[in-house]
A = this chain, B = another copy of it.
Amino acid sequence: MRFVLNKAVNISNMNAGIIIIGDEILIGQVVDINSSWISREMNKIGFRTETVITVGDDGKSISDAIDRCLEVADVVFMTGGLGPTKDDITKKVICEKFGTELVLDEKVLANVAEMLGRRGIAMTENNRGQALVPATATVINNAVGTAPGIMMEVSNIPHSVPFVSTSSTGGINSHPEPVEGSIPQKLLFSMPGVPFEMHYLMEREIIPLIKKHYNLKPVFHKTLLLTGIAESILAEKISDWEDSLAKNVRLAYLPAYSSIRLRLSVYQPDDTTESYINAKVEELKKIVPENIIAYEDIKLEELVGKLLKDRHCTVATAESCTGGKVASLITSVSGSSEYYKGSVVSYCNEVKADVLGVSRADLEKYGAVSSTVAEQMASGVRRLLKTDYAVATTGIAGPTGGSDEKPVGTVWIAVATPTKVVSRKYVFGKDRAINIERFAASALSMLIVEMEKEC
């Protein structure tokens, strides 16, 4: 082992650097969603992402980006450039950079063979190449794909530029200098760019490894889920409460479609932390009593499932403008078949009438985007699929189909419960994809609120 662990690691100065590799990102064909995911997850364990650098499938650019990140970060994550095709050169760069060579890893090869075998695909020379890893790397097994993760422990950093910056604006906010005589041991991870594979490696292997390596104290987080309030209004309402928080508490607003998560983080927690935070949450409940729908970091679709399981109830959906998005969110949760029976996506009036039993006269009279039709869709699917609850959406996602009276972004959402049917109108923006997301999230929020009222 070439390194000595720097024991005096100060958690608040732990930085991450991220390198996103891929020509497809630099020509704008694919949007990078990996860096925000990594930043969010690392933030939870006390790391601040210092920089994200996106480069092409090009050796010098990758090499330079590694240098830049090692200058400012303790842990560097690279995604992409590990696939079986010729343009994937990350591993070669790592070898050149850290003076090692590619060797065949039998365990990785067996994994590649198994992954391909399951899909009935023959192993090629390119696939064998995926089992080549830098000799000095720690291999991180990828159980959900053929490209392994790689960890390099970095102490002797071959900078192509001097470590001490001489930038003329260095005074504005300079980085901590390395402690004299100590060698900051850094970690460099290379992962596949496919988001699901990267998530798997991070969650199962890499984050636990980093926690252990740096002996990180857990960061105390308390996350609340709120709905039915705009971020700016929430910020104003809780401004005094926010000012009253102890200095070591960090508050983050994490707005999503139709909900806001408020996250309280304490980076140096002690025995009093939990009771202090609970007391502050009790204060908050008095300020926004109707908006808090959960006291944990949970997705809307997970909360729907939890509430239904608690009640031993079932739900169905009837979707027009959301076109299956609500169903898709609900069924993204493992075990959802326990409480979710199905959906009728009625993308035309004929299906609304024939399958869901919406009155043709009402469709004619009020139009498909109306309170009446939304309520009949919810009741209709609840009856057809024999469930306790149902939620229905009908609206105009855009970009066309709007009118003065019902502009693009208008949606009616109805919830049918064992005792009643309620509906509500929302008006959002002009972007189709964002509207579908907002409509679907609003449907889940409204279902949650109505379920919570029911008991």
Contact = CB atoms under 8 A, between A and B. Distances in A.
A372 interface: no
A127 to B, nearest CB: 5
A64 interface: yes
A169 B118 contact: no
Interface in A5-59: 20, 23-33, 35-41, 43, 48-56, 58-59
A360 interface: no
Contacts of A55: 50-51
Contacts of A168: 63, 96-97, 158, 160
Interface stretch (A208-216, A424-432, A443-451): A424-432
Q: Which of A43, A84, A162, A328 has the most CB of B within 10 A?
A: A328
Interface in A338-354: 340-348, 350-351, 354
A362 interface: no
A196 B431 contact: yes
A182 interface: no
Interface residues of A, number: 143
Contacts of A307: none
Interface stretch (A102-110, A229-237, A268-276, A279-287): A229-237
| Count of chain copies | 2
A324 interface: yes
A403 interface: no
B328 A324 contact: yes
A248 interface: no
B174 A167 contact: no
A331 B345 CA distance: 10
B323 A332 contact: yes
A40 B354 CA distance: 44
A56 B50 contact: yes
A323 B334 contact: no
A122 B232 CA distance: 10
Contacts of A347: 327, 331, 336-337, 340-343
Nearest to A115: B429
Nearest to A329: B324
- Secondary structure of the A contact surface, majority rule: mixed
Interface in A392-428: 398-400, 407, 409, 427-428
A233 B121 contact: yes
Contacts of A83: 231, 253, 255
A201 B77 CA distance: 33
Contacts of A332: 323, 432-433, 436
B50 A52 contact: no
Q: Which of A43, A174, A319, A324 has the most CB of B within 10 A?
A: A324
Contact of A252 (B87, B116, B158, B427): B87
A179 interface: no
A235 B386 contact: no
B36 A28 contact: yes
Nearest to A39: B28
A102 to B, nearest CB: 14
Given A59-B172, A93-B172, A124-B232, A427 B118 contact: yes
Contacts of A342: 344-348, 351, 355
A64 B165 contact: yes
| CB-CB nearest 9 A-B residue pairs | A59-B172, A323-B331, A324-B327, A28-B40, A324-B324, A160-B167, A28-B39, A343-B345, A52-B54
21 contacts: A24-B252, A25-B39, A26-B39, A27-B49, A27-B252, A28-B40, A51-B53, A51-B61, A59-B171, A63-B167, A83-B231, A83-B255, A85-B235, A87-B253, A96-B169, A119-B230, A160-B168, A319-B327, A324-B327, A350-B385, A354-B384
Interface of A: 20, 23-33, 35-41, 43, 48-56, 58-65, 67-68, 72, 83-87, 89, 92-93, 96-97, 115-116, 118-122, 124-127, 143-145, 158, 160-162, 165-175, 196, 200, 230-233, 235-236, 242, 250, 252-255, 263, 265, 297, 317, 319, 322-328, 330-332, 334-337, 340-348, 350-351, 354-355, 384-386, 398-400, 407, 409, 427-434, 436-437
